[in-house]
């Protein structure tokens, strides 16, 4: 294909540079988590080939034991993020990820040569990017393997702790505010009373379910395609290779990765990734809902609900002095919107990209899923630190509207019937009186019975 100019200090070589020149699309590089996962997969592949006696003393260009160890060390350096600036290929590249796979192969090859005291700029590579680093592999099985590894690791290390922390924060507020009575709202209209703690307990349950969904999302990517090579047949690799690589990755990460049950499915389709992100989308829906509810509850301070007091984080207006906005709620809602949008990318890529033996939209799928995990993890942690930790209840605002609510009449249904209760509500609204005042004026029920029936706290629980 002719000569190509590679930056003088680069650890990558010609194939990477060609890809940089071919795809000047977005300036988005692969997510760091995916690059690190590719390094880890290359390390695991090297270990498997070493243990299967494929690298030393066999093949066209056998390595020495020292060269193998240098190759493994270089792979671990990539896995540890030490060479992060050496991966310049755009996300919108060849759909299999071949450009990025070769980018990693070249970096590991050249770094290993350097570790051995050799000339990494020499054209002839004693530790070859294809023959050695990529031995027993194809982009078609190792790139999706790296995506699965990166996604699972990020869910385990970042998303799950953030969601659990959010759940605990909401549960703590639910306990603290369990005695604060407020009015319920359905259809944005007045409803029967509940406790502020019950409301936040409902939010906490949403986050408990989100934690469970994140675990399901992780489980959806535990099968690794590695071992299928080009089309799933496993050509040019050892029969035990995939199993050994999965075991090595599992040992390094503490995540129960396994070899794919069927390599033809694992190479060709990314259904597991689609399933994974569908759970992430549901989590995003929950985050949007909780943040929006807290935003509404904090609206005001004089002309809204103001049942919770949001921490002041920054001036809210360039023209209205003293205005403060629910910025952390808005931030998390935007995160959720982006994740929901990413789900469309993942869904379309999974449905239309998997033709015959290969999906050809994997880089954008990996980018979208990892972006969703990153945004939700960081967005939730920021929301906890800058909103939840300083969130306060406003008991006066909560309790002020309870007695005024026309829905207080609901507890009278068992005593006077629905039709008569409905007339009381209409009369109370017309006269401006409370349900209690109207019942007392008209002698609807004995005082003791009325007092018990219209006890707001009693309305927040089932009754005999």
Under DSSP, is residue 36 helix (H, G, I), strand (E, B) or coil?
A: helix
Active-site residue among 27, 109, 278, 317?
Answer: 317
Query: Angle at the Cα of 15 (from 26 to 102), degrees rounded to 5?
Result: 85
Q: How far apart (Å, rounded) are the C-alpha atoms in residues 408 and 405?
A: 6
Beta-carbon neighbour count of residue 211 at 10 Å? 17
Q: How far apart (Å, rounded) are the C-alpha atoms in residues 167 and 229?
A: 42
What are the DSSP calls for 177-190, one per residue? TTT-EEEEEETTEE
Is residue 229 classed exposed, middle or buried when 0-12, 13-18 and 19+ CB atoms within 10 A define those classes?
A: buried
User: Are the C-beta atoms of residues 367 and 92 closer than 8 Å to each other?
Assistant: no
Cis? peptide before 19, omega within 30° of 0: no
Tokens 């630190």, residue located: 385
Active-site residue among 187, 278, 372, 378?
Answer: 187
Question: Helix 139-154 and helix 362-386: axis angle, to 10°?
Answer: 10
Under DSSP, is residue 78 helix (H, G, I), strand (E, B) or coil?
A: helix
For 226-380, strand residue ranges (E) read: 258-259, 308-309, 354-355, 358-359
Backbone angles phi, psi at 233, to 5 degrees: -80, -20
100 catalytic per annotation: no
187 catalytic per annotation: yes
Q: How far apart (Å, rounded) are the C-alpha atoms in residues 90 and 84?
A: 14
Nearest CA among 88, 139, 83 for reference residue 115: 83
Q: Which residues pair with 401 in a beta bridge?
A: none
Q: Produce one character per residue of 444-453: b if its CB has 16 or more CB atoms within 10 Å, e if not.
A: bbeeeebeeb
Q: Which residues are known to be catalytic?
A: 187, 317
């Amino acid at each position: 294909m002719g000569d190509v100019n590679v930056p003088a200090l680069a650890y990558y070589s010609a194939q990477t540079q060609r890809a940089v020149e071919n795809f000047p699309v977005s300036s988005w590089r692969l997510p760091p988590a995916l690059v690190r996962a590719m390094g880890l997969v290359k390390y695991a592949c090297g270990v498997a080939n070493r243990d299967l006696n494929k690298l030393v003393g066999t093949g066209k260009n056998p390595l020495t034991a020292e060269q193998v160890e240098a190759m493994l060390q270089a792979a671990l350096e990539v896995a540890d993020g030490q060479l992060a600036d050496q991966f310049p290929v755009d996300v919108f590249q060849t759909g299999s990820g071949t450009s990025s796979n070769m980018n990693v192969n070249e970096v590991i090859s050249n770094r290993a040569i350097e570790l051995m005291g050799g000339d990494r700029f020499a054209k002839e590579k004693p530790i070859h990017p294809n023959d050695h680093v990529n031995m027993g592999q194809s982009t078609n099985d190792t790139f999706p393997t790296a995506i699965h590894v990166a996604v699972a690791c990020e869910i385990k290390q970042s998303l799950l702790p953030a969601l659990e922390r959010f759940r605990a924060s909401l549960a703590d507020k639910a306990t603290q505010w369990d005695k604060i009575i407020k009015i319920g709202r359905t259809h944005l209209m007045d409803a029967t009373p509940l406790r502020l703690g019950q409301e936040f307990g409902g939010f906490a349950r949403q986050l408990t379910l989100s934690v469970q969904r994140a675990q399901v999302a992780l489980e959806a990517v535990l099968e690794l395609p590695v071992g299928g090579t080009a089309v799933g047949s496993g050509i040019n690799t050892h029969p035990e290779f995939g199993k050994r690589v999965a075991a090595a990755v599992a040992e390094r990460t503490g995540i129960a990765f396994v070899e794919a049950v069927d390599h033809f499915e694992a190479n060709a389709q990314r259904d597991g990734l689609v399933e994974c992100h569908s759970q992430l989308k549901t989590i995003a829906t929950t985050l949007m809902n909780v943040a929006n509810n807290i935003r509404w509850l904090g609206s005001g301070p004089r002309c809204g609900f103001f049942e919770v007091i949001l921490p002041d984080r920054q001036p809210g207006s360039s023209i209205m002095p003293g205005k403060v906005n629910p910025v952390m709620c808005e931030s998390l809602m935007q995160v959720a919107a982006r994740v929901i949008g990413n789900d469309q990318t993942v869904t379309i890529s999974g449905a239309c990209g998997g033709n015959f033996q290969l999906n050809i939209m994997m880089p954008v799928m990996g980018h979208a899923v990892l972006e969703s995990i990153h945004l939700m993890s960081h967005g939730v942690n920021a929301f906890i630190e800058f909103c939840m930790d300083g969130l306060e209840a406003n008991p006066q605002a909560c309790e002020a509207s309870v007695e005024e609510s026309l829905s207080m009449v609901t507890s009278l249904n068992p005593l006077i019937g629905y039709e008569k209760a409905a007339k009381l509500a209409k009369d109370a609204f017309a006269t401006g009186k409370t349900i209690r005042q109207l019942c007392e004026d008209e002698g609807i029920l004995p005082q003791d019975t009325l007092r018990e029936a219209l006890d707001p706290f009693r309305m927040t629980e089932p009754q005999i």
